[in-house]
Amino acid sequence: MLKIADKEFSSRLFTGTGKFNSSKLMEEALIASGSELVTVALRRVDMNNADDDILIHLKHPSIDLLPNTSGVRTAKEAVFAAQLAREALETNWIKLEIHPDPKYLMPDPIETLLATEELAKLGFVILPYIHADPVLCKRLENAGASAVMPLGSPIGSNKGLKTIDFLEIIIEQSKVPVIVDAGIGSPSDAAKAMELGADAVLVNTAIAIAGNPVQMAIAFKMAVEAGRMAYHARLGKQGNFAVASSPLTAFLDE
């Protein structure tokens, strides 16, 4: 089981709600994925409306909502957004996303750290979305983040694990769960992240814009399970040097 703050998850696949061609299809795909934590952008939902189309389709006993602050540009806006989400959606969990760059949606490390410090004081369970920066991950952990969410490649790019060398360092060093977020474009990318030892992955675009989102959600579910199992089973070493059938040093034992 994966434990983040006070919650346990049997699924290590977290999902998002954007880019689906209907809320109904989104709901079907999320259920098929087995995901228990689903992120939703505050800017897309009407928090004062109990009949909001997206929120209605996310009302399942097995699904916890993870509101995200996507769209904010500063720590101040993020803190304000988190407070509103806590009140309206009755959860103190927040996926902290601060990307002042609307083109590539690159997360702002400085504002993210500032917001994490502030939100920790306010009692939030904070999951910050960040670049795959090992030092920043440690700083966020110390500031009170309950997990870190480094990116695999630019958000929505489906380019996979371009930051793999840094993800390995982050996973090795982290005391909080590491959730690889952004860029995961195929089930094999998700399996790879899990094989590396990531605690979970978050996938949205790759499922939402697939030819068959429900089927793709199931494929991701299986890939995450397979990757986690492979991590536990411990992969055989990849050798940089061959073991010769006639060893050069064999004579020493003669």
Annotated catalytic sites, by residue? Answer: 95
The count of chain residues that interact with another protein, using the rule CB under 8 A, is 30
Stretch that binds another protein, among 95-103, 215-223, 229-237, 239-247 (CB under 8 A): 95-103
Among 101, 172, 212, 247, binds another protein (CB under 8 A): 101
Q: Between residues 43 and 60, which has the closer beta carbon with respect to another protein?
A: 43
CB 204 within 8 A of CB 35: no
Q: Which residues, other chains included, contact 19 with Cβ-Cβ below 8 Å and sequence gap of 6+?
A: 156, 204, 205, 208, 209
CB 148 within 8 A of CB 179: yes
Stretch that binds another protein, among 31-39, 71-79, 136-144, 243-251 (CB under 8 A): 71-79
CB 202 within 8 A of CB 180: yes
- Coil/strand/helix, residue 208: helix
Q: Is 204 annotated as a binding residue?
A: yes
Binding track, positions 137-166, relative to another protein; x by CB under 8 A? -------------------xxx--------
* DSSP letter assigned to residue 251: G
Chain-centroid distance of CA 18 in Å reads: 14
CA atoms within 13 A on the CB side of 4: 29
Q: Is 43 in the site for another protein (CB under 8 A)?
A: yes
Q: Is 18 in the site for another protein (CB under 8 A)?
A: yes
Among 1, 50, 102, 248, binds another protein (CB under 8 A): 102
Binding track, positions 172-211, relative to another protein; x by CB under 8 A? ---------------------------------x--xx--
Q: Which residues pair with 203 in a beta bridge?
A: 15
